[in-house]
Structure 1
Amino acid sequence: MEISVDSQVSFSRPLVYSTYRDKLVELGPYLPNVRSLQLKSRQETERQVRLVLEWHGGGDIPAAARTLLSEKLFAWTEYDVWDNNEFTVDWRIETHAYREAVFCAGKNRFLDRGNYTLVESRAEVRIDLSAIQGIPPFLLGQLVNLVEELLSKKIEPNLVRMGQNVQKYLEQTQKNQSC
């Protein structure tokens, strides 16, 4: 499944880019299906910033359903490579459950459009049923539906909401600085 989301943020490209990169841990938990986000590592050079983030989802999934399912189904590690010269980030997600069956990766480009920044987010999600071993066939279909729901149908709204969160964050920061 291909995911394509464009967000407009009415601030300069360097500011929008650095806010996405440097404030992700602060803004991520405000996404509708994220309970927590933790920075595991950050490596910086002049040209690149490499981040490893651990996400825990399930924020908008009923608590009763969460108690019946493994916590691993709601957790993933994200690996980012931020290119400070190109204003891009290449990212991939590694799910904590069924790693061998799930592929999810993408690229965000931050484009200067004069009075706003266009954030182009492109991603690909693939689920390979044949890679899942030891699951009874009668449960496999339900499991695949759950994984697709958690990944494919949650990523797009999160990309949209992140753009909105960055816009609000920058507006609030600007307002606070002018006081």
Structure 2
Amino acid sequence: MLISADTRVPFPRPLVYSTYRDKLMELVPYMPNIRGVQVRSREGNGDWIKFVNEWQGGGDIPTAARAFLNESMLSWTEHAVWHGDRFTTEWQIETHAFTEAVRCLGTNHFFENEGMTVIESRGELIIDPRKLKDVPPFLAGMVSGIVEDFLGKKIGPNLVQMGSGVTTYLERQAVRP
């Protein structure tokens, strides 16, 4: 499944980029489908920074997926490399449920457009039904489709929601003395 989301934030690219990268903990209240984030590691130099972040999501799980997913399984580890010289982020998500079966990775590009920042998020989500542990083989194809559909419907909107959260956060920061 391809992941594609475009977000517009009405602030300059350097500010938007650094807010996404450096203010993650402060952005959580602006993302209703996210319950929490913990930065596990951060390293780098002037041109790049590598992060490992633990995310805890939430939301409604469709009836068909409840037999295989529960809310506590809606957590993931994000590995991200931020390239400040190119205004890009390369990310890979490691789900805490069905870890061996799920492959999810992509890139965010931050572009300047008439004083506004456009974030193009592109990626892919693939679930290998042969690697679904504890799922009977005759159900693996159906389960992988349900889980892929569920996760796919969360990832794109979460990327857009983050852009809205950054916009609100920056608007509130601008009115503070």
Query: TM class, shorter-chain normalised?
Result: 0.7 to 0.9
Q: How many residues align?
A: 175
**As a proportion of its length, which structure holds more helix?**
1
The TM-score normalised by the length of structure 2 is 0.87
- 1:28 & 1:123 partners in 2: Cα distance? 22
Gaps of 5+ in 2: none
Alignment of structure 1 residues 27-106 onto 2, 5 Å: 27-28=27-28, 30-61=30-61, 69-70=69-70, 73-106=73-106
CA contact (8 A) 2:61 2:70 kept: no
DSSP-derived class of the 1:133 partner: coil
> What is the Cα deviation at residue 148 of structure 1?
1.9
How has the CA–CA distance of structure 1 residues 69 and 78 changed in structure 2, closer, same or farther, with 3 Å as cutoff? same
The TM-score normalised by the length of structure 1 is 0.87
Aligned to 1:115: 115
Identity score, percent: 51
DSSP-derived class of the 1:77 partner: strand
**Letter aligned with residue 80 of structure 2:** D
How has the CA–CA distance of structure 1 residues 10 and 30 changed in structure 2, closer, same or farther, with 3 Å as cutoff? closer
- 1:174 & 1:154 partners in 2: Cα distance? 30
User: Which deviates further from its counterpart, 70-79 or 2-11?
Assistant: 70-79
Q: CA RMSD in A?
A: 2.3
**Letter aligned with residue 88 of structure 1:** T
How has the CA–CA distance of structure 1 residues 74 and 167 changed in structure 2, closer, same or farther, with 3 Å as cutoff? same
Aligned to 2:168: 168
**Letter aligned with residue 133 of structure 2:** Q
Q: For 1:53-109, what per-residue CA distance to the aligned partner results, in whole angstroms no more than 9, with x for missing partners? A: 0011224459xx98x955662111000000010000000000112111100001001
